[in-house]
Amino acid sequence: MRLKVTKSKNAASLYVIKSIYKNGVRTSKIVEKLGTEAELREKLNGADPYEWAQKYINELNEKEKEQTRKILVPYEQSKIISKNEQRSFNGGYLFLQKIYHELGLHKICKRISQRYKFDFDLDSILSRLVYGRVIFPSSKLATHELSKKFIEQPNFDLHQIYRALEVLAKETDFIQSALYENSLKIYKRNTGVLYYDCTNYFFEIEQEDGNKQYGPSKDHKPDVV
């Protein structure tokens, strides 16, 4: 980063700029506008704004070097890895964690927990069930085992998942209502359109017509078309 001074008839403006490559072409971008020479002299109680600016930019360059410095990790080829020790973790759920918290599900779990006297962490259980359903849909047992590969380890047992499911079932209406309200604060939604599932339907007529054929339905109702 370096100092750039842009002069006009009435003032000289000081900028911090940085060289970058864009589409293979070297160019410059403004990192920060420091102010005009007059503004800086007033702010610095008469000190030289150019000396101050150069010192400030030197500090920025030192901080940037610290953040981009190379780190060497020693590798020992003869070192033996301990048996049954977990050395790799799944971090793919972290993008889901952001959405989970944006929707306020952790706060919803807290409010539910205040209404019941259970000793398990409902937020931890629900979050793992959500992550697992998106990343690797499977049974509750498999989800519990696979969640142990997350960076943040689960703090609950399998039997507590089933206990939590009973609570979640009782609080379904509250959860859906709270989620709807929270989602409106984050995403725009057309509330004038209603979507509903019509995959399971039947016709109570006895005449066949096109797709309407007489016989058992998906609900195993024997006397409907």
Pairwise CA distance, residues 158 & 188, whole Å: 37
Do residues 108 and 173 both lie within one domain? Answer: yes
Do residues 103 and 167 both lie within one domain? Answer: yes
| Residue 87 is assigned to a structural domain of this protein | no
Q: For residue 224, what pLDDT is reported?
A: 46
| Residue 85 is assigned to a structural domain of this protein | no
| Residue 79 is assigned to a structural domain of this protein | no
172 confidence band (pLDDT: 50, 70, 90): very high
| Residue 83 is assigned to a structural domain of this protein | no
For 149, which DSSP code?
G
| Residue 84 is assigned to a structural domain of this protein | no
Counting the structural domains of the chain, the total is 3
Do residues 161 and 120 both lie within one domain? Answer: yes
Q: How far is CA 62 from CA 51, 57, 65, 209, 214, in A?
A: 17, 9, 5, 79, 79
pLDDT digits (tens, 9 = 90+) for 8-56: 888 899 899 888 887 778 888 888 889 889 889 888 888 898 999 999 9
pLDDT digits (tens, 9 = 90+) for 44-92: 888 898 999 999 999 988 888 887 777 777 877 887 878 877 777 888 8
Which domain range does residue 219 map to?
195-225
Pairwise CA distance, residues 201 & 88, whole Å: 48
| Residue 202 is assigned to a structural domain of this protein | yes
| Residue 44 is assigned to a structural domain of this protein | yes
